[in-house]
Amino acid sequence: MRIFLSPSTQEWNGYVNGGTEEEYMNLLADRIEPYLRASGISYTRNDPARNVRGAIDDSNASYYDAHIALHSNAAGEANSGKVRGLDVYYAPNDTKGKQIAEIMANNFKKIYPLPDRVRAISSTNLGELTETKAPAVLLEIGYHDNVEDATWLKNNLNSIAKNIVESLDDYFGIPFVNPEAVRRGWVNTDGSGLNLRAKPSTDSAILTSIPDGAEVRVYGSVGDWYTVSYNWQNGYVYKSYIVLG
């Protein structure tokens, strides 16, 4: 599994209690990354120096199983500070995007203070939904011109990050794995390659073969499997073939 992670580049959108949308969505992305690695999900992150067009082009330049755009909302001058809510947008004809959005909306209801104001909504007006090749969702995580929402977001970045990755795990059909302290490991197979798999199962897709003696980074464990990275690719390997340093 491989996703394109696209936090906002809108540095001009100020939060009512300090900071900007770009700042806090990138802080959120920082916290998402360890959960992705622990769950065996590979990812590419957008370039903050590029705009939305750049993020779309970079996403489309390779293959991804999902495109996840991170934003916070604003109600506009007339209603500034008066609106709260959390929306997960998807393109109307994107069946997989809709599935991801509905999973995320249902899971966000568990942590957002006003669960009745969490929605999955279709939209034809957002380029990161309509112009990306990968199934895509765009999250508007509360209203940053509302004190309660902005405060909730700032105080709950880690739980929001965890919730997002739990939703991706649900969508991909893989277990949620809590991040652990990163460890070094070496493949020990007596000469043969070790399969890096997409899921913790010998029936799952083989992503690549890791040579005997190669070093990997170990991020978490589930049952008889480790989640590891090798050559910038994350996945699962059988524990008995890894010697930890």
**Counting beta carbons within 10 angstroms of the beta carbon of residue 78, is it exposed (0 to 12), middle (13 to 18) or buried (19 or more)?**
exposed
User: Which pLDDT score, from 0 to 100, does residue 16 have?
Assistant: 96
Whether CATH 3.40.190.10 fits 183-244: no
Q: What angle do CA 31, 210, 227 make, to 5 degrees?
A: 30
Q: Are 86 and 23 in contact (CB under 8 A)?
A: no
CA distance 202 to 213: 21
Domain boundaries, the chain: 2-172, 183-244
Per-residue pLDDT of the chain (245 residues; tens, 9 = 90+): 999 999 999 999 999 999 999 999 999 999 999 999 999 999 999 999 999 999 999 999 999 999 999 999 999 888 999 999 999 999 999 999 999 999 999 999 999 999 999 999 999 999 999 999 999 999 999 999 999 999 999 999 999 999 999 999 999 999 999 999 999 999 999 899 999 999 999 999 999 999 999 999 999 999 999 999 999 899 999 999 999 98
Q: Do domains 2-172 and 183-244 have the same CATH topology?
A: no
CATH ID of 2-172, from 3.40.50.620, 3.40.190.10, 3.20.20.70, 3.40.630.40: 3.40.630.40
Per DSSP, what are the bridge partners of residue 73? Answer: 143
User: Which pLDDT score, from 0 to 100, does residue 98 have?
Assistant: 98
Closest to 210 (Cα-Cα) out of 244, 236, 184, 178: 236
User: Which pLDDT score, from 0 to 100, does residue 245 have?
Assistant: 86
Q: What pTM value is reported for the model?
A: 0.93
User: Which pLDDT score, from 0 to 100, does residue 77 have?
Assistant: 85
What token pair was written down for 17? 């209690």
